[in-house]
Amino acid sequence: MILEVKDLRARYGNIEVLHGVSFSVDRGEIVTLIGSNGASKTSMLYCIARLMPPDAPAVSSGDILYDGESILKTEPHTLIQRQMMVLVPEGRHIFGNLTVEENLQIATYPYRNDINYNVISGEKKDLVYGLFPRLFERRKQRSELLSGGEQQMLAVGRALMTGCETILLDEPSMGLAPKLMFEMFKALQKLNFIKHTTIIVVEQNARVALNFASRGYVLKTGEVIAADTSDSLAANADVRKAYMGG
């Protein structure tokens, strides 16, 4: 097990948004958190990523263990230095005035002092361009000129440049054309297969998420109300009615 969330409670001010959430993710697994708007899926990701208030809710009780170690007792900058987890937020947040290649290069900061920096950076870039050939074709282009789908690929690629073990994805299909969405998820599945990267994806499109992940958790107003394999959740009548249009 690489990640374990244990009875986590968190709040924005006086409003509790996570009510004793517990779930786990095995190393190299693809897991999704699904639910409607207001389910606190993004709040859960922000707690795992150790974003600080006011951007993220403040944890009031419970714990989050990464590889057996409490990350709530670890300084956020230490997690970055260890290259453990990287969050790809909703909205991409790329640097539009920089080229694709410059955006990728920025993410090599954690290992900038390594004597093998050039080799490591080149290998990571080859991985990104291998997964997303469109980015290679547009590597000299300013990122603000990319399509929404290409910008999402760049946001994921930038995360991979850190050498992280686990990627947290917040609504990656948001606003994407179906073809580009399919390309991105296929690339992520390939990444999981060849590098065993652990992927945790928050997604409102339950059908897409369950096709992508091996297991899923259903969140409703800050609580886990169902957990099963993706196939079982997709076949569950209540899940289908509430989140997949019947």
* Per-residue model confidence (pLDDT) at position 93: 87
- pTM exceeds 0.85: yes
Residue 43 tokens, joined: 């709040």
- Give the span between the Cα atoms of 222 and 142, in whole angstroms: 39
Separation of alpha carbons 199 and 138, rounded Å? 26
pLDDT (0 to 100) of residue 76: 63
Note the CATH number of domain 1-84+166-173+197-246.
3.40.50.300
pLDDT at 39: 94
Pairing between strand 85-88 and 69-70?
unpaired
Tokens representing 184 are 């991105």
Which residues 6+ apart lie within 8 Å of 17 measured at CB?
10, 11, 40, 43, 57, 222
Cβ of 226: how many Cβ atoms within 10 Å? 17
CA 124 – CA 197 distance, rounded (Å): 13
Which residues are CB-neighbours of 31 under 8 A, at least 6 positions away? 23, 25, 199, 200, 201, 213, 214, 215, 216, 217
Digitized pLDDT (tens) for each residue of the chain, 246 residues in all: 999 999 999 999 999 999 999 999 999 999 999 999 899 999 999 999 888 888 889 999 999 999 998 988 877 666 655 668 899 998 888 999 999 999 999 998 877 888 888 888 899 999 999 999 999 999 999 999 999 889 999 999 999 998 889 999 999 988 888 888 888 899 999 999 999 999 999 988 899 999 999 999 999 999 999 999 999 999 999 999 988 876
Q: Sheet with 15-25: list strands edge to edge.
A: 15-25, 3-12, 58-66, 69-70
First-to-last C-alpha distance (Å) of the chain: 33
Round to whole Å and give the CA distance between 154 and 167. 14
CA distance 66 to 4: 7
Boundaries of every domain in the chain = 1-84+166-173+197-246, 91-164
Return the pLDDT at 199. 97
